Amino acid sequence: MSSAEIYKEIILDYYRHPRNYGKLEKTDGSARETNPLCGDDVEIQFSVADGKFGEIRYSGKGCAISQASTSMLTELAKGKQVEWVKELSKEDVFKMLGNPELGPARVKCALLGMKALKVAAYGYLGSKFEENNGSDS
């Protein structure tokens, strides 16, 4: 699908009506990613319950593609095991966006949210691992 189409069909809806936009009071994991070239900036925060994403929010500013893809990603992640991010791939994100034709610069916009989510989730999993293994040391 051409990028003009994608703007029309999916992205603009999320850009106009962001889902899960905002901040959490209490978080189990969070991360911020920026793209210095274009000034895109997203932060993802989440809480965890039973090893699954509980509440999940994003905030930030930037182009429609970065903001919409992050918003969609929070919807996708909600309720899933935190471990699931290990399998999350670029291709999943592209599919979620409807496989638009994006040049390399815009691909970075599309993947910014995924980067933030991964960093946040790995951070959470790492700290969990330390906690669980803390008694050994």
Q: Which stretch binds other proteins (CB under 8 A): 24-32, 75-83, 88-96, 102-110?
A: 102-110
Using the 8-state DSSP alphabet, how is residue 7 labeled? I
Instruction: Write out the DSSP string of 9-44.
Output: IIIHHHHHS-SSBS--SS-SEEEEEEETTTTEEEEE
Known active-site residue 63: no
Q: Of 109, 111, 116, 117, which residue is the catalytic one? A: 109
Q: Is the dihedral of CA 105, 84, 82, 25 positive or negative?
A: positive
Binds other proteins (CB under 8 A): choice among 25, 87, 103, 132? 103
- Catalytic residue check, 109: yes
Contact between 109 and other proteins (CB under 8 A)? yes
Quick note: the x/- pattern for other proteins over 30-69, rule CB under 8 A, is ------xxxxxx-------------------xxxxx----
CB nearer to other proteins: give 29 or 100: 100
> Scanning residues 73 to 92, which ones bind other proteins (CB under 8 A)?
none
- CA–CA distance, 23 with 26 (Å, rounded to integer): 9
Q: Kindly state the smallest distance separating residue 56's Cβ from other proteins, in Å.
A: 23
DSSP secondary structure letter of residue 81: B
Residues 56, 85: Cα–Cα separation, whole Å: 14
98 is an interface residue for other proteins by CB under 8 A: no
* Amino acid, single-letter form, for residue 106: R
| Beta strand residue intervals within the chain, DSSP E | 29-35, 40-49, 52-61
Residues annotated as part of the active site: 38, 109
Footprint of other proteins (CB under 8 A): 2-4, 7-8, 12, 16, 36-41, 61-65, 103-106, 109
